[in-house]
Amino acid sequence: MKNIQISPSILSADFSQLGEEIKRLEGGGADLIHVDVMDGHFVPNITIGPPVIKTLRNYTKLPFDVHLMISPVHKYIKNFAEAGSDIITIHPEATDNLIESIKLIKQLNKKVGISLNPNTEVSVIEKLLKEIDLVLIMSVYPGFGGQKFIPEVIEKIKKLYQIKKDKKLKFDIEVDGGINFSNSKEVISAGANILVSGTTIFKENNGDIKKNIETLKSM
Ligand code: DX5
Ligand code: ZN
């Protein structure tokens, strides 16, 4: 069976006790912790930055899957690396030089992720796929939790998975936005191996994180 990982987004957690929320995620079987960083400029919402991530680092050994929705992103990459990120994911539109930004993340010994908005084609990063560790396919327009999954992205996941197989590449395919118990199977079948989820993990079944993670993983 395919190894599916769940990366709960702390965007839907109780921000007044993020440390405890992260422990709860770890106890519930999360594989990664998805941290949504927003700047009120690249996306119309503001969340947290490196000092908060650094503090949260003490609460878990799970990898921090840091999704940067900030622009220009390049000059902040080092700060996020030093704060304790394990995967640093950037949007191609948020940097003047995508190749340099990828190089920098690698130099800092972090995994590199590239995120594709619903209207950004796979072709934008096709030549770079052998350089990166992860592609984060957005299934909503970034900015807010609790939005509705855009079904058209299923085709994009399939296309990317086909390229991955054809070229025998190893990058992860992670999908972010509006993931729920009704669409998770289709997303996994299309080729995703990591699912991000905020609302479903924290709100379904009265917030039973363990049950929600298990249900999302089960095919
Ligand atoms: C959107 C964020 C997502 C989102 C996931 O900008 O990148 O991580 O908050 O939350 P749900 O699962 O509620 O769509
Ligand atoms: Zn995200």
pLDDT digits (tens, 9 = 90+) for 30-43: 999 999 999 999 99
| pLDDT value, residue 1 | 62
Say which CATH architecture domain 5-218 belongs to: Alpha-Beta Barrel (3.20)
Exactly one of 31, 65, 172, 176 is catalytic; which is it? 176
Query: What pLDDT score was predicted for residue 2?
Result: 83
Domain ranges of the chain: 5-218
Using the structure block, give the residue that is written with the tokens 């096709």.
Answer: 126
Mean pLDDT, rounded, for 154-168 = 98
31 carries an active-site annotation:
no
Q: Percent of the chain beyond pLDDT 70?
A: 99
Q: What is the DSSP string of 23-46?
A: HHHHHTT-SSEEEEEEBSSSSS-B
**Ligand 1 pocket, residue 113 CB under 6 Å:** no
Q: Which atom of ligand 1 is nearest to the CA of 138?
A: 7
Nearest-Å Rg of the Cα atoms of the chain is 16
Q: Tens of pLDDT along 65-97?
A: 999 999 999 999 999 999 999 999 999 999 999
Model confidence, pTM: 0.98
Is residue 199 within 6 Å of ligand 1 at its C-beta?
A: yes
At 189 the pLDDT is 98
| pLDDT of amino acid 219 | 65
Q: Residue 36 catalytic?
A: yes
Whether 50 shows a pLDDT value over 90: the answer reads yes
Mean pLDDT of the residues in the chain: 98
> What percent of the chain is predicted at pLDDT more than 90?
98
pLDDT of residue 187: 98
Helix runs in 83-120, H state only = 98-107
